[in-house]
Amino acid sequence: TGAEAQSSDPWGEGKLKKEPECHMQLDKLFPNQNHTVLIDTNEFMAGRIVPHKGQHVWNSHFVKLPHNYPLQNGIESRWAVTEKALKERKLTRGASAKDVEMAIKTYNHKHKTDWRFNTLYRFYESGSRSYFSSVISKIAQLALTLPSLVQTKIPMLRQNQSHAITMSQEQIACLLANAFFCTFPHRNTTQPGSEYSNFPTINFSSLLSNASPRTLQKLKAIFYYFNTVTEEATKPKGLVTFERICLSQSEFPNWSKQKENMTNLHVYLNGFIEKEGQGMLQVDFASNMIGGGVLNQGLVQEEIRFIQCPELIVARLFTEKLGDNECLKITGAQVYSNTTGYSDSFQCNSPHTDSTQRDEWKRRYCQIVAIDAIKFDDPRQQYSEKNIKRELLKAYVGFKGDPQIPTDYTPAIATGNWGCGAFKGDPMLKALIQMMAAAVAHRDLAYFTFGNKKQAEDLKRTYKLLKSHKVTVGKLYNLLLDYCKHHHHHHHHVKSVSDYISEKMGVHPSQL
């Protein structure tokens, strides 16, 4: 990878649509029953970003915020203890890793012995002490602004409901500063049966604990992020929307009956979804627990994206595990770090200045959609009708545009080997599934093969065949079901899905 991206456009059907060029003007920003806005929308119309003043509640439908912790008779409030700890002289000037650990443990006694902070110590020892303590003091101050920045309840994005939350980048930064200092109550365990077992973790305790080259690189990026958001000159002044989209049964396509032909497909051998896919709907190869292992050791596509754009991490605070018919779409996230490499070779190199334009709601033109593929412990499991249908539905809920917006105003999709790394899917089968979902959603695709030349060639050939034979989604679906049977019956001489399809259409693979 690294070389300039090359696109194939065999049909000469032109360019893939991108934002902001294809952007359709938005209505005024206004809350409704499906959209919670954490800033005051009247003030917003006047050009100011001011927190919305609403009410707090303490129940399972809303985020349990640390400054809203119920008071107990005779005991100092948890937030008062937190405030004191974060205002400690040491944290405001000249803090060491030890000071941070001590502060966090004052309001997390239960973890006095099991939380270790090795990453933080390593990071502290390996870099400039003054940089460390100056960023730490800014994170602590930012965390303390929570009561003034978040003055209303934040709904949980629970399963089986479509709902969006729009908040300011400043509010996100403040929530993440609290996550860094592990102030979120009830969120330190996700053991089965615990209150948040169906949610990802949010407190940064595991990231700060498990020292490894990976977590050190992550922490470096996190420090860049906090440094950028706390400097007056670089502070982001916009909004971000997190939208859980849930399809109801009546909206599920009937795959074997769909009459659509394939939409345009541009295959890129090199390039990255987040870079060359700018302006398109960018796919996050997600875990059903949004962000996957970002606060742990995970460092593949999703985690890298979340580390480059830490604002995405706040989704973990309120997004319940994704169901098969659901996705999470995030609009407006910003890139804060330049990184290279992947997995063990991943490195965070420098802070990034993001100059992406903003829409009318002051959100950066950046749309990311999190869809989680199935993890196939045994890759043979993927060749079944049930699993193909599940992956089609998941891709479709992610790709389906807003019904209010005509497809002319809907950007193309930037994707690649979704579900084919950690989750062990078959890249050709997954590409066909994504092509079918995109066809039903009437959107074009940019497909990045991440440097795999053979795959890029195969994909272009198979696409050409489907186009020239005017194969519809329904027809392809039925071919895939036939292929499942073939796969089932032939353990040893099993054909690849692309060879199987071309043979079925009377074309010998060598003729392609």
Task: Indicate whether 418 belongs to the interface with ligand AR6 (CB under 6 A).
Answer: yes
**273 interacts with ligand AR6 by CB under 6 A:** yes
Name the residue nearer to ligand AR6 (CB basis): 95 or 368: 368
Question: Hey, which residues between 355 and 394 contact ligand AR6 (CB under 6 A)?
Answer: 373
What element of type H or E holds 438?
helix 427-440
Which DSSP helix (H) or strand (E) runs through 348?
strand 347-351
Other beta carbons less than 10 A from residue 114's beta carbon: 9
Q: How far is the CB of 349 from ligand AR6 (least distance, A)?
A: 16
CA distances from 454 to 247, 412, 415 (A): 36, 24, 17
71 near 56, Cβ under 8 Å?
no
Among 121, 423, 447, 477, which residue sits at the site for ligand AR6 (rule: CB under 6 A)? 423
Longest dimension (CA), the chain: 82
State the binding string over 289-318 for ligand AR6 (x if CB under 6 A, else -): ---xx----x-xxxx---------------
| Residue 272 near ligand AR6 by CB under 6 A | yes
Does position 135 interact with ligand AR6 (CB under 6 A)? The reply is no
Residue nearest to ligand AR6 (CB): 292
Cα dihedral 109/111/112/115 (nearest 10): -150
448 forms part of the interface with ligand AR6 (CB under 6 A)? yes
Query: Rule CB under 6 A: is residue 270 a binding residue for ligand AR6?
Result: no
Using the minimum distance from each CB to ligand AR6, give the nearer residue, 37 or 335: 335
CB atoms within 10 A of CB 191: 9
CB of 311 to ligand AR6, least distance (A): 17
Catalytic residues, by residue number, are: 284, 302-303
Residue 285 within binding range of ligand AR6, rule CB under 6 A: yes
By CB under 6 A, how many residues form the interface with ligand AR6? 24
Q: Name the β-bridge partners of 445.
A: 265, 413
How far is Cα 180 from Cα 4, in angstroms, rounded to an integer? 37
**Long-range contacts, 86-93 (Cβ 8 Å, 24+):** 86/140, 86/141, 86/143, 86/144, 86/181, 87/140, 87/144, 91/136, 91/137, 91/140, 92/137, 92/140, 92/141, 93/133, 93/137
Q: Which of 405, 385, 360 is nearest to 480 (CA)?
A: 385
* Residue from 274, 311, 359, 458 in contact with ligand AR6 (CB under 6 A): 274
Could you say whether residue 422 binds ligand AR6 (CB under 6 A)?
A: yes
Determine which residue in the list 180, 450, 463, 483 makes contact with ligand AR6, applying CB under 6 A: 450
Structure tokens that stand for 270 in this block: 């090199």
Nearer to ligand AR6, 124 or 423 (CB): 423
Residues within window 316-335 making contact with ligand AR6, judged by CB under 6 A: none
User: Least distance (Å) from ligand AR6 to the CB of residue 312?
Assistant: 12
Rounded to whole angstroms, how far apart are CA atoms 465 and 301? 30
Nearest distance in Å: CB 313, ligand AR6: 12
Q: Kindly state the smallest distance separating residue 2's Cβ from ligand AR6, in Å.
A: 13
Site of interaction with ligand AR6 (CB under 6 A): 272-274, 285-287, 292-293, 298, 300-303, 373, 416-423, 448, 450
